[in-house]
Amino acid sequence: MQLGLVGLGKMGGNMRDRLREAGHEVVGYDRNPALSDAENLADLVAKLAAPRAVWVMVPAGVTEATIDELAPLLSPGDLIIDGGNSRFSSDGPRAGRLSTRGIGYMDVGVSGGVWGKENGYGLMVGGSDENVARMMPVFEALKPAGEFGFVHAGPVGAGHYAKMVHNGIEYGLMHAYAEGFELLEASELVTNVPGVFRSWREGTVIRSWLLDLMDLALTDDEHLEKLKGYADDTGEGRWTVEEAIRLAVPMHVISASLFARFESRQDDSPAMKAIAALRNQFGGHAVQQAG
Amino acid sequence: MQLGLVGLGKMGGNMRDRLREAGHEVVGYDRNPALSDAENLADLVAKLAAPRAVWVMVPAGVTEATIDELAPLLSPGDLIIDGGNSRFSSDGPRAGRLSTRGIGYMDVGVSGGVWGKENGYGLMVGGSDENVARMMPVFEALKPAGEFGFVHAGPVGAGHYAKMVHNGIEYGLMHAYAEGFELLEASELVTNVPGVFRSWREGTVIRSWLLDLMDLALTDDEHLEKLKGYADDTGEGRWTVEEAIRLAVPMHVISASLFARFESRQDDSPAMKAIAALRNQFGGHAVQQAG
Amino acid sequence: MQLGLVGLGKMGGNMRDRLREAGHEVVGYDRNPALSDAENLADLVAKLAAPRAVWVMVPAGVTEATIDELAPLLSPGDLIIDGGNSRFSSDGPRAGRLSTRGIGYMDVGVSGGVWGKENGYGLMVGGSDENVARMMPVFEALKPAGEFGFVHAGPVGAGHYAKMVHNGIEYGLMHAYAEGFELLEASELVTNVPGVFRSWREGTVIRSWLLDLMDLALTDDEHLEKLKGYADDTGEGRWTVEEAIRLAVPMHVISASLFARFESRQDDSPAMKAIAALRNQFGGHAVQQAG
Amino acid sequence: MQLGLVGLGKMGGNMRDRLREAGHEVVGYDRNPALSDAENLADLVAKLAAPRAVWVMVPAGVTEATIDELAPLLSPGDLIIDGGNSRFSSDGPRAGRLSTRGIGYMDVGVSGGVWGKENGYGLMVGGSDENVARMMPVFEALKPAGEFGFVHAGPVGAGHYAKMVHNGIEYGLMHAYAEGFELLEASELVTNVPGVFRSWREGTVIRSWLLDLMDLALTDDEHLEKLKGYADDTGEGRWTVEEAIRLAVPMHVISASLFARFESRQDDSPAMKAIAALRNQFGGHAVQQAG
């Protein structure tokens, strides 16, 4: 089928390739003319036959503006799919606004990173049964072969919600491996830490794709000496904990993983300055002067 | 090669099968005569040609006693392999005691659970290069086919250490999925929670063997209504956090997973009784009477 | 000075008493005629001389509606003080709406609980210098004697913000004592747990008012057997962690205290059901059936 | 009464002063001749009339050696009191060894830091009723005036146990205030953070001696810019969490406080290096190179 695709960066570009390999006709638009199949959004829309389906795959920060610019160019019966990392709570209002123009809306959480082009993308979809059925050929092409990698999670918003939880779990999984790595590195007994991670790839309870990647990373750099212990966070981890708070769900593990990222970006910890100050006050404990 | 195997329970019994399928001669002993190839430990030793290798695969609580009973029956040049879940700190002293009799010692952390017979067992080995080489045919038969599933992690103790960290990581991984499950169940938007987990099995960053098992569990029991939220802990999780404390390794995630298991076994929380008492004292907040 | 006071419950009623003892003229309104000095809000306003100051001291859930009803009855130059537990983020918009009518606004976080009438109330104030100066006689009467118990924390919103953080800290403090209580109760060595808490009231680093209350609670009920380990949460704890997430502040302790309250209200833990399900899948570990 | 006191450092020296002010005869020994009343331990013992009581107040690392040197110099009926920060688990064995010589033993956890000389020391005592009664005059002199500040917590070991829990709670309390400080510092609304802490000293639920100290620290250094966020840990925090693990007591708050101290002493976090490595592997996320 024919699909408009807005945003041809690291994710969108690979998705265009995968869709075309599957025989779909993709008209892509990107601000970078070297990547783009259309001059601008209006040109993109003009190149598509109604009823149109336009997949928006841009950074979360510009999704709203992109859809606001796109919507007036579309016609009743057209459909917008947001495959970016929007907060789930923006989906319902957005769908409402578009419906006043007769435009449909779906949200798709897309996992897989740079490996998705080859392995397929995990897709978590929110929207009506009708719209899911309409886009199924595209989903079939993007998802991995076989019975997994796709879910119609619920109504509009459920796709981004499932992707948000996916990323929250990802934070926790990564931190569990990371704590294990740090302990093994500190141990006097284990002399072959990369070998331990490598061995775990088969036959163990903790085998996973993330573990495979950990093996690759340690093959490159046995003690990870080339990297700083620094990690950004991209929104979904925060939203996951916010939802846990809203819904009164205990979330010790994922929140701790999120807080560890915050800590990784601090030059010094204001909280630990307060601890040092208190210890100095009550016990005359030695403190370290800043600078 | 020939191997004595003490303990033919859920793990040992399957390992005997897998070893025999690979062409090894296994003489097994178990307290249960229906499972055993020998009448007692002395009979087991008598059935083995020196220099003997005896793999002990019994519950951690009886490992020490089993080895104490076995050692006097063996001869210099024989080798004991502990494949159970001993604390790593017992390996060094045990090896020392056995060496005074001229008996060698290795520790092997074995992962894989009830699926190991078919998939192979992940093996983490601690011991001398010489002893590892000697037992390599057995390890080859037990481990999964291919390049993974086996590591010589370091000297005596390193095998159990690596297995301990494996299980600590396992606690954290399981709890990350568990928190994600609880949040999805609480969500108003996601109407197909089992489908979400099922979809994650391919194409996502969080795909893993544990996730596959989570899919199987949810296929059986969509909301896990048949189970109580109760979990024992088998030692390795506690030891992992103890080691983190000894080595000053921050371990927020794995410790939180461990504490959650403790909580799962409490009828009521003494700590939360204290919170309730304090709130009642300062704010006249309503409290719930026990019983 | 003259003050209108809306809400004469556990907090407002005691505050009226304390203000009157200090010589202020308080006209109170409450939905309960037995407590009220005025028939309704209009009557309250009519009984006050312009420029009026009206302190709203009602549950957070009805503050917005109360102010919406009150504002049209007031005149330019009047001042509303919200002393309830509103979320700080509602203060700025509320002040903006009132300013279009020429009505001033301040927010005051009030601590002290049922003991405030006697000890004085800790006051954290947000608003303009001018409005703080105007209300200073009332603040002086409510606060404890001496140099502490009052702060002008910043502009509108800062009072509720400081109170929110106060309550977040309170969660953490209470849980630290609670964990200590649970450990002492579990210990085989310490046979006089109430005596230990009682002793800590003087001479120690951890002496505090909460500790005094813990002593009182244990004097009543040595093992807290009369209470269930159940605790509600009233908003500020959640908002504190939400702010930590927004501002990338690591908050392991206060979030853990909050999550413990969530757990205290669960009959069974969905997360731990997932752990039980996974353990059953991979290890054939015994599980407990629900019900 | 007469008391021998070994160790006249920051704690022991002040305790000697406080005891003498109360009319007791103290013979002190310290390796530093300028502080010492005796030339060596033998001289100290010679200066005391039997039955002797010797209070050992030395760093935890040298307590065992000091007692081993002292014991042979004493006579049956003499009594050793360990007021240092020994691990509670060493008390029972130590008492057993001393009892073979007819020497009694008590353990006393002592709180109060540099302020104890003036305010009195919080005392948590483990030992027999007989020994407690024998030393009561000394305890009365050291403890704060009034009904608090002293407990006979249980048999030998219980004093150090109670002190260990005291310090564990202290970790949690300090970290709760520290998190609050960090959030207030990050807030855009609160412009007077030291004033907020100062106000909390009276009328609030969170007033405490630690809060008073926080006020003093912020009076010196409004943003704690002079200090590094660095904190050692002295053993009791680790032991508290170890006991929690042994006794299956959930301990999210105190363990998080302990882990934060570990983190404060790391130049970079190995765990976060692993997170950075994984993110780089799966997402091509930008990483920061070390150095």
How far, in Å, CA of C5 to CA of C83, rounded? 10
pLDDT at D136 over 70: yes
Q: How many residues does chain B have?
A: 291
pLDDT for D287:
64
pLDDT at A282 over 90: no
* Least CB–CB distance from A227: residue in D177, D228, D289: D289
How far, in Å, CA of C260 to CA of D54, rounded? 45
pLDDT at A56 over 90: yes
Backbone angles phi, psi at A106, to 5 degrees: -135, 155
pLDDT tens per residue across span D27-47:
999 999 999 999 999 999 999
Touching B: A residues 20-59, CB under 8 Å: none
How far, in Å, CA of C37 to CA of C26, rounded? 9
CA distance A244 to chain C (A): 9
Touching B: C residues 127-146, CB under 8 Å: none
* Least CB–CB distance from A245: residue in C242, C252, C282: C242
CA distance B166 to chain A (A): 7
Q: Does C117 touch chain B (CB under 8 A)?
A: no
Catalytic choice (C170, C228, C236, C243): C170
* Least CB–CB distance from D10: residue in A113, A214, A284: A284
Determine, for residues A250 and B179 on separate chains, whether the beta-carbon distance falls below 8 Å: yes
Place B112 in a pLDDT band, splitting at 50, 70 and 90: confident
**What is the amino acid identity at position B55?**
W
3-state secondary structure of C152: strand
pLDDT tens per residue across span C19-43:
999 999 999 999 999 999 999 999 9
- Looking at beta carbons, which residues of chain C come within 8 Å of D161? 184, 187, 189-190
CA distance D195 to chain A (A): 15
Mean pLDDT score across all residues of chain C: 95
D149: Cβ contacts below 8 Å, ≥ 6 apart: C199, C201, C202, C203, C204, D120, D121, D122, D123, D143
- Looking at beta carbons, which residues of chain B come within 8 Å of D251? 259
Q: Does A94 touch chain C (CB under 8 A)?
A: no
Name the nearest CA neighbour of A43 among A82, A61, A69, A76: A69
Place B287 in a pLDDT band, splitting at 50, 70 and 90: low
pLDDT tens per residue across span C229-250:
999 988 999 999 999 999 999 9
Give the chain C residue whose CA is nearest to the CA of A243.
C242
Compute the average pLDDT of residues B221-228.
Answer: 95
- Looking at beta carbons, which residues of chain A come within 8 Å of C248? 262, 265
pTM score, whole prediction = 0.96
pLDDT tens per residue across span A173-214:
999 999 999 999 999 999 999 999 999 999 999 999 999 999
pLDDT at D250 over 70: yes
Q: Is the ipTM of this complex over 0.90?
A: yes
Q: Does A279 touch chain C (CB under 8 A)?
A: no
Q: Best interface-test mutation with A: which of D111, D211, D227 has the largest number of A CBs within 10 A?
A: D227
How far, in Å, CA of D129 to CA of D155, rounded? 8
Whether a cis peptide bond, with omega within 30° of 0, leads into B51 is yes
- Looking at beta carbons, which residues of chain D come within 8 Å of A250? none
Burial of B257: CB neighbours in 10 Å, binned 0-12, 13-18, 19+: buried
- Looking at beta carbons, which residues of chain C come within 8 Å of B259? none
Q: Annotated active-site positions of B, please?
A: 163, 170
Name the nearest CA neighbour of B141 among B162, B125, B172, B120: B120
Residue A206 Cα distances to A266, B14, B157, angstroms: 31, 20, 21
pLDDT for D286:
60
Compute the average pLDDT of residues A24-48.
Answer: 97
- Looking at beta carbons, which residues of chain B come within 8 Å of C227? 273, 276-277, 280, 287-290
pLDDT at D178 over 90: yes
Residue D197 Cα distances to C249, D160, D215, angstroms: 18, 32, 6
pLDDT tens per residue across span C279-291:
999 876 666 776 5
pLDDT for D181:
98
Q: Does C179 touch chain A (CB under 8 A)?
A: no
pLDDT for A114:
80
- Looking at beta carbons, which residues of chain B come within 8 Å of D245? 238, 241-242, 258
Q: Does D6 touch chain A (CB under 8 A)?
A: no
C234: Cβ contacts below 8 Å, ≥ 6 apart: C60, C85, C167
pLDDT at B37 over 60: yes
- Looking at beta carbons, which residues of chain B come within 8 Å of A150? 199
* Least CB–CB distance from B229: residue in C210, C228, C269: C269
Element at B187 (helix H, strand E)? none
pLDDT tens per residue across span D257-278:
999 999 999 999 999 999 999 9
How far, in Å, CA of A57 to CA of A61, rounded? 11
Beta strands in chain C (DSSP E): 2-6, 25-29, 53-56, 79-82, 104-111, 122-126, 150-154
CA distance D256 to chain B (A): 6
CA distance D226 to chain A (A): 5
Q: Does A246 touch chain D (CB under 8 A)?
A: no
pLDDT at C75 over 80: yes
CA distance D53 to chain C (A): 23
Determine, for residues C114 and B283 on separate chains, whether the beta-carbon distance falls below 8 Å: yes
Q: Annotated active-site positions of A, please?
A: 163, 170
pLDDT for C287:
63
pLDDT tens per residue across span B48-68:
999 999 999 999 899 999 999
pLDDT for B10:
87
Determine, for residues B196 and A172 on separate chains, whether the beta-carbon distance falls below 8 Å: no
Report the Cα A78 to chain-centroid distance in Å.
26
Q: Does B164 touch chain D (CB under 8 A)?
A: no
- Looking at beta carbons, which residues of chain C come within 8 Å of D211? 208
CA distance C47 to chain B (A): 32
- Looking at beta carbons, which residues of chain B come within 8 Å of C277? 214, 217-218, 221, 224, 227
Give the chain B residue whose CA is nearest to the CA of A173.
B173
CA distance D171 to chain A (A): 9
**Degrees to nearest 5, angle at CA B40 with B37 and B41:** 100
pLDDT tens per residue across span B132-184:
999 999 999 999 999 999 999 999 999 999 999 999 999 999 999 999 999 99
* Least CB–CB distance from B190: residue in A120, A158, A249: A158
Touching chains, B (3+ CB pairs < 8 A): A, C, D
Compute the average pLDDT of residues D151-159.
Answer: 98
Place C134 in a pLDDT band, splitting at 50, 70 and 90: very high
Determine, for residues A256 and B256 on separate chains, whether the beta-carbon distance falls below 8 Å: yes
pLDDT at A290 over 80: no
A122: Cβ contacts below 8 Å, ≥ 6 apart: A110, A111, A112, A116, A143, A144, A149, A150, A166, B199, B200, B202, B203, B204, B207
Q: Does A106 touch chain C (CB under 8 A)?
A: no
HSE-up (13 A, CA, CB side) for residue C290: 17
pLDDT at A161 over 90: yes
Place B283 in a pLDDT band, splitting at 50, 70 and 90: confident
What does the buried/exposed string (b/e) look like for D223-258 if buried means 16 or more CB atoms within 10 Å of the residue's CB?
Answer: ebeebbbbbebbebbbbbbbbbbeebbbbbbbbbbb
For chain A, percent of residues with pLDDT exceeding 70: 98
How far, in Å, CA of B171 to CA of C278, rounded? 11
Compute the average pLDDT of residues D162-179.
Answer: 98
Q: Best interface-test mutation with B: which of A128, A171, A190, A272 has the largest number of B CBs within 10 A?
A: A190
Place D291 in a pLDDT band, splitting at 50, 70 and 90: low
Q: Does C182 touch chain D (CB under 8 A)?
A: yes
Q: Does A252 touch chain C (CB under 8 A)?
A: yes
Q: Annotated active-site positions of D, please?
A: 163, 170
Place D114 in a pLDDT band, splitting at 50, 70 and 90: confident
